[in-house]
Amino acid sequence: MSRRTDRGRRGFTLVEVLASFALVAAILPAAMGAVVLAMRLEESARRGCEAVMLAQSKLAELTATNEWQDTKSSGDFGDEWPDYKWEKEVTPWDVDGVSEMTLTVRWTSRGQERSVSVTTLVYSGSGTGTGSG
């Protein structure tokens, strides 16, 4: 009698194995889809962070070298960042001698153009001033 009991506990039945395969077949595509989506979101977030860093760096460079005073200009970030392009626009602000500089960084990701813009105020020193002496 103990032989019969041991025989029943040795392994899985065919029905249990088939049910396990069916369960894995149903769950695996959804899990893989979630992994692919997470990887796409990570890439998008990384590229956006890179673009913001490049925009802030270019703003600092243009401000330090006084090249910001051209109304419009554009360019790229060289061989180190070949996928990113930048455009700068300077517009007068509400205060004399102060301008608003917006730098937009563009790149293409999965066939769609993406962009981020960073804006700062710059002082040209050519304002008339309203203070009294």
pLDDT value, residue 131: 41
Looking at residue 22, which CATH number applies to its domain?
3.30.1300
Q: What pLDDT sits at residue 35? A: 93
Q: What is the mean pLDDT of the chain?
A: 86
Q: In the predicted model, what is the mean pLDDT of residues 56-78? A: 89
The pLDDT value recorded for residue 129 is: 45
The 3-state secondary structure of the chain reads CHHHHHHHCCCCCHHHHHHHHHHHHHHHHHHHHHHHHHHHHHHHHHHHHHHHHHHHHHHHHHHHCCHHHCCEEEEECCCCCCCCEEEEEEEECCCCCEEEEEEEEEEEECCEEEEEEEEEEEECCCCCCCCCC
Q: 80-132: per-residue pLDDT in tens?
A: 999 999 999 999 988 888 999 999 999 998 889 999 999 999 988 765 544 43
Inside any domain, residue 115? yes
Average pLDDT, integer, range 19-24: 91
Which long-range contacts does 44-49 make (Cβ < 8 Å, 24+ apart)? 44/109, 44/114, 47/107, 47/109, 47/114, 48/114, 48/116
Does a structural domain hold residue 102? yes
Range of the domain at 118: 9-123
Residue 31 within any structural domain of the chain: yes
Give me the number of domains the chain comprises. 1
For residue 129, being part of any structural domain is answered with no
Q: Is the pLDDT of residue 34 over 80?
A: yes
What is the per-residue pLDDT for 6? 56
Q: Cβ distance 84 to 74 under 8 Å? A: no
The pTM score is: 0.71
Q: Is residue 64 part of a domain?
A: yes
**Domain for residue 128, yes or no?**
no
Asked whether residue 130 is assigned to any structural domain, the reply reads no
Amino acid at 114: R
User: Cβ(46)–Cβ(61) under 8 Å?
Assistant: no
| In-domain check, residue 98 | yes
